[in-house]
Amino acid sequence: MYWDREFETMPREKIRELQLERLRATLGRVYNNVPFYKKAMDERGIRPSDIKALDDVRKLPFTVKKDLRDNYPFGLFAVPMDDVVRVHASSGTTGKPIVVGYTQNDINTWAGLIARALTMVGAGKGDVVQNGYGYGLFTGGMGVHYGAEKIGATVVPISGGNTGRQLMLMQDFSSTVLTCTPSYALYLAEEGENAGLDFKKLPLKAGVFGAEPWSERMRRQLEDKLSIKAYDIYGLSEVLGPGVSMECPAQEGMHIFEDHFLAEIIDPESGEPLPFGQQGELVFTSLTKEAFPVIRYRTRDITMLSEEPCSCGRTHVRMRRVTGRTDDMLIIRGVNVFPSQVESILLEFGETEPHYLLVVDRKGNLDDLEIWVELSEKWFSDKVRQLEEVEGRLKERIASVLGISARVKLVEPRTIPRSEGKAKRVVDKREL
C-alpha cells in the first residue's frame, strides 16, 4: 500500500531530476534569505547557479550542529517569522536547545511523510494509533500525530510514560498501531506480561519505533512479545523530525523520502563522498523545507545506503539501521545526551577540572543513567546532609539540562579511569 504512489515509486532517473530541480530552488532561497548560508557559499565562491548537476552538491560546504547552535534561536530560518507556524527544539550541548521552525506547508509536508510511513506498515482509516512519543518541544509526538490524522486513523495522543494507563487504553480503545521508542515498547510488553495481559488477543498489529538505536534482536523480542510487526522509523529534528526515512514491509532498511531529502554518505574524517554500499556518515540536504532548510547537514549517524530495487516496489534508496555515531552523543530514553552537557553543569558548580562518568545501562528494558562525579575537596564535608545536598542539586540541574533524570553518585577522587590524559566519559552497558 502506498500513500503517494507517484512519488514513492518514481523511476530513479526522474527522482534525480526532481531532486536537482528542488535543490536549485532551495539553494536560491537560502542564498537570498539566510545570511549564514550566503556567507558560507560566498567564501567558497559558489553561487546557486553553479549547481548544474546533482553531484555538484559536493561543492557546497557542510553544515554542522555547532552552526545551528551559533545561530540560536531563529538565525537560520529562511522565511519571516510571520510565516512560521510552529517551532520545535532538541537539547543542545550547552543548555541552549537547537530550534527548528515550520511553515504551514512544512507541517503539511511532514504530515504527508508520516502518512506515507504509516500507510507503508498497513495503517489507514479505521486504525487506532496509540502515540507514545513525547508531545512538546520534541518532534516525535506532534510529528506522528498529524500524519496519523492525515491517514484518517484515530489518534490516541497519550504521549510517553504512564505505563499503567498505556496498557489500559491499549485494551479499552483497541489500539492497532503503537508508536513510541523501541525500549519503551519493550518495557510496555514486559509490564503487560507481568499484569497477565495476553497481547495475542489484542488487535495491536504494528509498531513504529524510532528516536533511538535498536537491533534485530530487539525487533524479534518486540514482535514476539507484542504479537505485532515492528518497524523502524528514522528522523532528526534538524532535518524534519520523524519521517525522514521509514522501513517498509520487506524490513530490509528504511526508504529515505528522496523527493524531500537528498542523502549522501561521506567519510567522516575526510568529508569525501562515499559510493552506495559503503559505510559512513549520513548527510542531508532538505529539498522542500521552507522555514528551516538545511544544506549538507552532517547527522553524525553512521550507516550505509543501498540503491538496490526493493521488493515493496518503492524506488527510494534505503538506509541501513544506524550503527553508531561519529561524535559522543548518546540516546537515552529517546533523548539526545552529550557528555559535555554534564561537564558544563559541573563547571557551573565551580569545578575547574571536573571528572565524571556517564554509566548507561538498561534495567527492565528501560534506559538507566547514573552519573559518577569525583568528589572534589571543596564539596567534601564531614556531614552527610551536606553531601546529599550536593547530590540533590546536581541531580536537579542535570534533569533540567539533559531533559531526563539521572542518578548522581559521588565517588572518590582519582577513581574514574583516565587514559592518555583524556578521561573516558561514557560506559554504555546496554545490549541492543
Residue (32 or 381) nearer to other proteins, CB: 381
Give residues 230-249 in contact with other proteins (rule: CB under 8 A).
none
State which of residues 387, 404, 423, 427 lies at the interface with other proteins (CB under 8 A). 387
CA distances from 266 to 54, 272, 326, 358 (A): 15, 5, 11, 29
Contact by Cβ (8 Å): 265, 305? yes
Contact by Cβ (8 Å): 275, 236? no
Count of residues of this chain found to bind other proteins when the rule CB under 8 A is applied:
17
d(CA 43, CA 24): 19
Residue (149 or 370) nearer to other proteins, CB: 370
353 binds other proteins (CB under 8 A): no
- Residue 366: exposure state from Cβ atoms within 10 A (0-12, 13-18, ≥19): middle
Residue (325 or 409) nearer to other proteins, CB: 409
125 binds other proteins (CB under 8 A): no
State which of residues 13, 172, 269, 384 lies at the interface with other proteins (CB under 8 A). 384
201 binds other proteins (CB under 8 A): no
d(CA 257, CA 261): 6
Residue (102 or 356) nearer to other proteins, CB: 356
380 binds other proteins (CB under 8 A): yes
Q: Secondary structure of the chain: what % helix, strand, coil (to 5)?
A: 35, 25, 40
Contact by Cβ (8 Å): 309, 159? no
Residue (224 or 388) nearer to other proteins, CB: 388
Concatenating the DSSP letter of every residue in 134-176 gives PPSSSHHHHHHHHHHHHTTPEEE---S--HHHHHHHHHHTT--
State which of residues 26, 175, 285, 376 lies at the interface with other proteins (CB under 8 A). 376
Residue (423 or 432) nearer to other proteins, CB: 423
Per-residue x/- mask for other proteins, residues 393 to 432, rule CB under 8 A?
----------------xxxxxxx-----------------
Minimum gap (Å) between residue 414 Cβ and other proteins: 5
Residue (59 or 407) nearer to other proteins, CB: 407
Stretch binding other proteins (CB under 8 A), from 17-25, 67-75, 233-241, 375-383:
375-383
CA distances from 39 to 34, 42, 47, 73, 419 (A): 9, 5, 11, 19, 40
Minimum gap (Å) between residue 425 Cβ and other proteins: 19
Q: Return the SS3 of 185.
A: helix
C-alpha cell of residue 191: 509490564
How many Cβ atoms sit within 10 Å of the Cβ of residue 89? 18
Contact residues: other proteins, CB under 8 A: 375-377, 380-384, 387-388, 409-415
